[in-house]
Each structure stands twice: as structure tokens, then as C-alpha cells.
Amino acid sequence: MQNPPTKDSAATGQDCPQSGVWQALGTGLPPLQIAKGSVMPAAGGWVVTWRLLRACAPKTEPKP
């Protein structure tokens, strides 16, 4: 059973808790921009733990 996501870490398959740039730990793969609420992806086909490197404000649509 996976631990619930925290604000700065989450595992593959969990909802992203914070929009920002995330690094898949132990993979050597480049960081990804992931939006809050998106499902955290697998990395190289593996279930991994993701660590938040830099938080970003979610993009908003301009008001008409």
C-alpha cells in the first residue's frame, strides 16, 4: 500500500498535490512539469516516488 501524497512528494498513480516541476527519484530522468490534480506518471515504465523541485502557480484562463 502506498503512502498518501504529501505537498512535496507523491508516487506513480496518485493525484499530484501541487503544480510544479517534479523529479522521479532514482531514475536519472529529467524533471517534468506536472499540474495539481493530474495523475503522477510512471517513469521509464516503473512505479516511482516523485519529489517536488519547484512549485508553480496553476495556469488560469484570462477572464473575458
Q: Tens of pLDDT along 9-63?
A: 999 999 999 999 999 999 999 999 999 999 999 998 999 999 999 998 766 666 6
**Counted domains in the chain:** 1
Q: Report if residue 33 sits inside a domain.
A: yes
**pLDDT surpasses 60 at 1:** no
pLDDT of residue 54: 96
Q: Report if residue 62 sits inside a domain.
A: no
Domain extent for 42: 9-55
Is the full-model pTM beyond 0.85? Answer: no
Q: Report if residue 60 sits inside a domain.
A: no
pLDDT of residue 11: 97
Buried b (16+ CB within 10 A) or exposed e, 14-53: bebbbbbebbbeeeeeeebebeeeeebeebeeeebbbebe
Q: Report if residue 63 sits inside a domain.
A: no
Q: Which amino acid is at 58?
A: P
Q: Report if residue 46 sits inside a domain.
A: yes
